């Protein structure tokens, strides 16, 4: 079971990574420099380093899970397999979000010069589906790997991104004004409004 889960996670990464890279590279075609300083010093000093620790630890687990055996948690096999299902949902939402954002994709709170307000696709229901897919991904990784260190670093990355969301929404409101405020009123931040 353990080996099947590891192979499934590796295959998922091999499918999703090229798609993410394609969209990231395509969004950089403008050559526009983005001011990451708007994220604030705390986010600048923490988010990417913690994200790198998470990614490196996940790669280590995929290569040799025994290297992270010190943080293994006993989980029932059915929960670990459920992680694959959650990961598949996260992957589909992630791809849908990339495709919907198109050239508006950034890795910071700053909008591009030619930025448009995206309200279609998953953005029709929530303002931050990318972060929803990340939350699902972190849950999936925890269940698949049964590893508390990966869960802790993933949750920390997610918390930092969620903290950064307030500034992102301020920038969007400043950029799109009433159009964004109306969009914000009819959609949920992370969950659809009921």
User: 79 and 143 in contact (C-beta within 8 Å)?
Assistant: yes
Rounded Cα distance, 33 and 112, in Å: 9
Structure tokens, 115: 């930025």
Helix, coil or strand: residue 72? strand
The answer, as to whether pTM is greater than 0.85, is: yes
Contact criterion met (CB below 8 Å) for 180 and 172: yes
Structure tokens at 110: 């700053």
C-alpha 188/C-alpha 181 separation (Å) is 12
Q: What is the pLDDT of residue 194?
A: 73
The contacts of residue 28 (CB under 8 Å, 6+ apart) are: none
- The radius of gyration of the chain from alpha carbons, rounded to an integer in Å, stands at 18
Question: Contact at 8 Å (CB) between 61 and 5?
Answer: no
pLDDT at 19 over 80: yes
- Residues paired with 72 in a beta bridge: 147
Tens-digit pLDDT profile for residues 120-153: 999 999 999 999 999 999 999 999 999 999 999 9
Q: What is the DSSP letter of 104?
A: G
CA distance linking residue 76 with residue 82, whole number of Å: 10
Instruction: Report all structural domains of the chain as residue ranges with CATH numbers, in order of start.
Output: 2-18+40-186 (1.20.120.1630)
Torsion of CA 13, 19, 22, 27, to 10 degrees: -110
pLDDT reported for residue 29: 81
Q: Which of 175, 155, 39, 9 lies closest to 107 in space, CA to CA?
A: 39
In the three-class reduction of DSSP (H, G, I as helix; E, B as strand; rest coil), residue 64 is classed as: coil
Q: Say if residues 183 and 117 touch (Cβ distance below 8 Å).
A: yes
Note the pLDDT tens digit of each residue in 68-117.
999 999 999 999 999 999 999 999 999 999 999 988 888 888 877 888 99
Separation CA 52–CA 168 (nearest Å): 22
């Amino acid at each position: 079971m353990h080996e099947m889960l590891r192979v499934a996670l590796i295959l998922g990464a091999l499918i999703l990574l090229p798609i993410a890279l394609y969209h990231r590279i395509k969004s950089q075609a403008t050559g526009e420099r983005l001011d990451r300083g708007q994220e604030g010093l705390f986010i600048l000093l923490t988010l990417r380093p913690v994200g790198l620790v998470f990614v490196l630890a996940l790669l280590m687990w995929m290569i040799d899970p025994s290297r992270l055996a010190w943080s293994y948690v006993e989980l029932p096999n059915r929960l670990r397999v459920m992680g694959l299902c959650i990961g598949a949902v996260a992957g589909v939402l992630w791809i849908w979000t990339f495709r919907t954002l198109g050239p508006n994709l950034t890795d910071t709170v700053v909008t591009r010069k030619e930025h448009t307000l995206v309200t279609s696709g998953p953005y029709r229901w929530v303002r931050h589906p990318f972060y929803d897919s990340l939350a699902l991904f972190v849950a999936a990784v925890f269940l698949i790997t049964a590893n508390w260190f990966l869960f802790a670093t993933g949750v920390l990355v997610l918390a930092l991104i969620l903290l950064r969301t307030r500034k992102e929404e301020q920038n969007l409101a400043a950029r799109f004004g009433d159009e964004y405020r109306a969009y914000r009123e009819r959609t949920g931040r992370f969950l659809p409004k009921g």
